[in-house]
Amino acid sequence: MNLSTSNIKILGTGSFKPDFVALNEDFSKTAGLETDDDWITSRTGIKQRMFNCGENATNYNMSSKAAERALKAAGISADDIDIIVASTATPDFFYPSLACLVQNAIGATNAFAIDVSAACTGFVNALDIVRNYLANGSAKKALIVSGEMLSYHTDFTDRATCVLFGDGAGAIVLEATDSPKLYAAHLGAIGEKFDEPALYCKVPYKCNSPFGAKGENFGAVNHVDYIQMDGRAVYKFASDIMPKTVKSVCEKAGLELSDIDLLIPHQANIRIIKTAMKNLDIPEDKVYVNIEKTGNISSACIPVCLDELYELGRIKAGMKICMVAFGAGLTYGAVIIEV
């Protein structure tokens, strides 16, 4: 297998954005939060985010809808799919996996199904996994679905985190083709210490054994199941790793930065994106940003952007698209794919 080419083709994309829109003004009206549109917009670039609320508000529901839309755009049926890889940091269950729930919902009876856990980098990791299955011939058609329900893990009394995140899902269908196209990936992780991660959401485990100290929390991290973040540490990591990762993946692909037609960065913060772009000297019109409307939807950011770009008619055959992400773990990764 040639490392800088691959025989994969995007057949279709889909996304799902919940109906409920929370504006910055909705947060500024919330008693006790003491925030405002000016602070949120100037520090993050976010104006609104969507929350999946009400009946059937589950991750798998959003993800299944995004998957169905991607299948429709691809013009294939669910039972043509050989592999489903789902990425999520906010699954409905520890098990069954999100991928298995989506498989059942869409009726992809011939697929095997697995989840990837790499926080906001999950989609990029999933794409590289799928690429390997397609390239080595063990699958012909694949579905990647990235779904996130960050609102279920957000402390809405914590102004430092609650304004940042939203819910949503994105999906893509890929197939193996006979004509190799440019492809490269650069993936990495800097595993954090258990008791001092910069970004985490802890499983609310308690020792439940009748033979031990029943009810006691184990582990040194606070017993919370909300997103906890050292914003400045994440900011520093992201601003440094994003440009480095884009440079590394270009090197692997044998490309100059100027050869990239479109760059889709993880949508965590407009200031992080702008800092990275300045470092890379990539013109703004080559960088796709939708954070203003969606907030940070973790691993769903990039596939949702991809779907919007197809919808806008901005993706043309032969383009070289670079997708770059960073996330809890800490994880990071970029992929260049020729479409």
Binding footprint of ligand ACO on the chain (CB under 6 A) = 35, 39-40, 43-44, 119-120, 159-160, 163-164, 199, 229, 231-232, 234-235, 268-269, 272, 296, 298, 326-328
The least distance separating ligand ACO from the CB of residue 21, rounded to whole angstroms, comes to 18
CA distances from 334 to 86, 241, 254 (A): 18, 10, 14
Q: Torsions phi, psi of 113, nearest 5?
A: -140, 130
DSSP 140: S
The least distance separating ligand ACO from the CB of residue 95, rounded to whole angstroms, comes to 24
DSSP letter string, 61-109:
HHHHHHHHHHHHHHT--GGG--EEEEE-SS-S-SSS-HHHHHHHHHT-T
Nearer to ligand ACO, 111 or 164 (CB): 164
Amino acid, single-letter form, for residue 252: K
**73 in helix, strand or coil?**
helix
The least distance separating ligand ACO from the CB of residue 87, rounded to whole angstroms, comes to 13
Nearer to ligand ACO, 13 or 296 (CB): 296
Number of H helices and number of E strands within the chain? 10, 12
Nearer to ligand ACO, 40 or 74 (CB): 40
Torsion of CA 106, 111, 116, 122, to 10 degrees: -60
Tokens, residue 98? 């999100």
The least distance separating ligand ACO from the CB of residue 104, rounded to whole angstroms, comes to 29
Residue nearest to ligand ACO (CB): 231
Nearer to ligand ACO, 11 or 199 (CB): 199
Catalytic residue among 24, 59, 120, 250: 120
- Cα(262)–Cα(310) distance, rounded to whole angstroms? 12
Nearer to ligand ACO, 78 or 162 (CB): 162
The least distance separating ligand ACO from the CB of residue 64, rounded to whole angstroms, comes to 24
Nearer to ligand ACO, 9 or 274 (CB): 274
What lies within 8 Å, CB to CB, of 178 at 6+ separation is 7
153 is catalytic: no
Catalytic residue among 266, 269, 301, 305: 266
Q: List the end-to-end C-alpha distance of the chain, in Å, as a whole number.
A: 19
* Residue count (the chain): 339
Q: How many CA atoms lie within 13 A of 73 on its CB side?
A: 23
Largest CA distance in the chain: 62
The least distance separating ligand ACO from the CB of residue 4, rounded to whole angstroms, comes to 27
296 is catalytic: yes
Nearer to ligand ACO, 64 or 331 (CB): 331
> Are the beta carbons of 181 and 7 closer than 8 angstroms?
yes
CA distances from 129 to 142, 174, 192, 334 (A): 10, 12, 23, 13
**339 in helix, strand or coil?**
coil
Catalytic residue among 296, 301, 305, 322: 296
Chain centroid to CA 53: 20
The least distance separating ligand ACO from the CB of residue 332, rounded to whole angstroms, comes to 9
Which residues participate in catalysis according to the annotation? 120, 266, 296
